Amino acid sequence: MVVMYIGTLKKCSICKEHLPHISFYKNRCNADGYEYFCKVCNSLKTKRYQQANRLSVIAIARKWREGNPQLVHRATRGWQERNKKIHLERLRARVMANYHYPLARICSIDDCNEVGERHHPNYSKPKEIEWLCLKHHREFHRQPIVV
C-alpha cells in the first residue's frame, strides 16, 4: 500500500520516523510551529514522566481541582450526562449498599484490621459488595482492568 502525503514530512526526534505534520502537536515557539517529537512519542514520554513523578502529578492535579471547582463540577456533570446509564447504575448500587449495610466493617483482605469501605466489583449486582480499607481500595482501582 502506498501512502501519499501532501506537503513535507518532519522527523520525530525520539523515534526518528519521518511523519506528516499532522502527527505532531503544534508549538508556536518552534521555528516550524510543531513539537520536536510525534504525538505517539509525546504520549509515551508523558506517561513515563507521570509514573516517575506520581506524587508530584497528583499534588498538582489536586491543587488545580481545588482552585477550579466550577470546571470540575461542569466536567463531572458532563461525564454523568454522556454516561447516564453507567452513572445511574453506580448511584443505585451506592444507595442500596448504604441502605443494606449502614455500618462499616473490617477490611476483607487477610491480616488487615482497618475499617473498610464498600467496594462494588460489579455494579449490576448492588448487594454484592466487598469491604476494603482505603489503602486496599485504592490499590484495587490502580490495577489495570483485564478483559
Residue 24's closest CA among 32, 85, 66?
Answer: 32
For residue 116, the tally of other CB atoms under 10 A from its CB is 21
Which residues on neighbouring strands pair with residue 23, listed in sequence order? none
Q: What is the pLDDT along the chain (147 residues), one digit of tens a residue?
A: 444 545 689 999 999 999 999 999 999 999 989 999 999 999 999 999 999 999 999 999 999 999 999 999 999 999 999 999 999 999 999 899 888 888 888 988 888 889 888 888 888 888 888 899 888 888 888 866 554
Q: Which residues pair with 7 in a beta bridge?
A: none
> Which CA distances in Å does 60 have to 5, 64, 75?
40, 6, 18
| Residue bearing cell 508556536 | 28
- Complete domains list, the chain, with CATH: 1-52 (3.30.60), 83-142 (no CATH)
β-bridge mates for residue 130, sequence order: 119
Indicate whether this model's pTM tops 0.75: no
